[in-house]
Amino acid sequence: MKIISWNINGIRAVEKKGELQKFLQNEDPDLLFVQEIKAKKEQLSNYLTENSEYLQFYHSAEKPGYSGVGAWVKKSWIKKKNLSQLPVVETGMPGWNDSEGRVICLEFAKFTAIGVYFPNGGKSEAAWLEKLEFYEHFLGYVNDLRKTDKTVIWCGDLNVAHNPIDLARPKENEGSIGFRPEERAWVDKVVDAHWVDVFRTLYPNKESYTWWHMISNARARNVGWRIDYFFVDQADFAKVKSAPHINSQMGSDHCPLALEIDI
């Protein structure tokens, strides 16, 4: 199974540029999670809501033009796998008011996949504290999900670079949002809870980024951050085949990342 996660930074704009169509043709994912769709479903085209090749689900933010996540499932993959039921789709997290459209979960018979867009936390002290609260609540949420004995996969924009290798200029960004000790310590906590950062585990010494600042032309200079991830339970890591970054794909300030896994 091929799963792709992409912070698309405005799904209508990426469709208008033709980059989304090109991406799907080139990569052909079985399951696609998108973050920062920045639209409500009624604002989207038929291609984005009634696609002939994909079932499409969205969880939009209440605030217009902000945040929001989505999940696409390849119809031919469902048919090929002879699945007896379509995925159960849930949005948000129990006990959390997800008015910003940050979490979407697809539950299949044998596995659960979650797409998430974590808060940035840089707007104010209150936003920073809410980011830390979101981190803790989300970890509890996914820890509870794996008690079902299904394979659990979660992915998306975590808005944190875990270690110095995960950003081009770690010394210059010490203390910056996205690289603060509290955020990095939370990722340590995730790993200690036996969740595997798939990319870093497969490629321990590889310098590869998933986000670049748009205004400073950072992508052309490859001055980036790795803030987008796939995580799987340690017990399921042996099922992973590959987890590349698709750095050549344009259209957003993030690149997509893929996970090939034997479910």
- The tens digit of pLDDT for each residue in 49-81 reads 999 999 999 999 999 999 999 999 999 998 887
Res. 263 pLDDT band, cuts 50 70 90: confident
121: domain CATH number is 3.60.10.10
Structural domain including 84 reads: 2-261
Q: Is the pLDDT of residue 31 over 80?
A: yes
Structure tokens at 92: 């948000």
Structure tokens at 167: 């950003």
CA angle (106 as vertex; 52, 154 as ends), nearest 5: 115
Percent of the chain having pLDDT more than 70? 98
Residue 48, burial from CB neighbour count under 10 angstroms (0-12, 13-18, 19+): buried
Q: Give the per-residue pLDDT at 216.
A: 83
Closest among 234, 165, 153 to 205, alpha carbons compared: 165
Tally of domains in the chain: 1
Pairwise CA distance, residues 210 & 224, whole Å:
7
Inter-CA distances, 191 with 45, 99, 162, 165, 184, Å:
39, 28, 11, 17, 11
Scan for tokens 């659990």, then name that residue: 152
Q: Give the per-residue pLDDT at 58.
A: 98
157 among known catalytic residues: yes
Res. 83 pLDDT band, cuts 50 70 90: low
- Catalytic residue of the set 30, 157, 236, 253: 157
H or E element at residue 74: strand 69-74
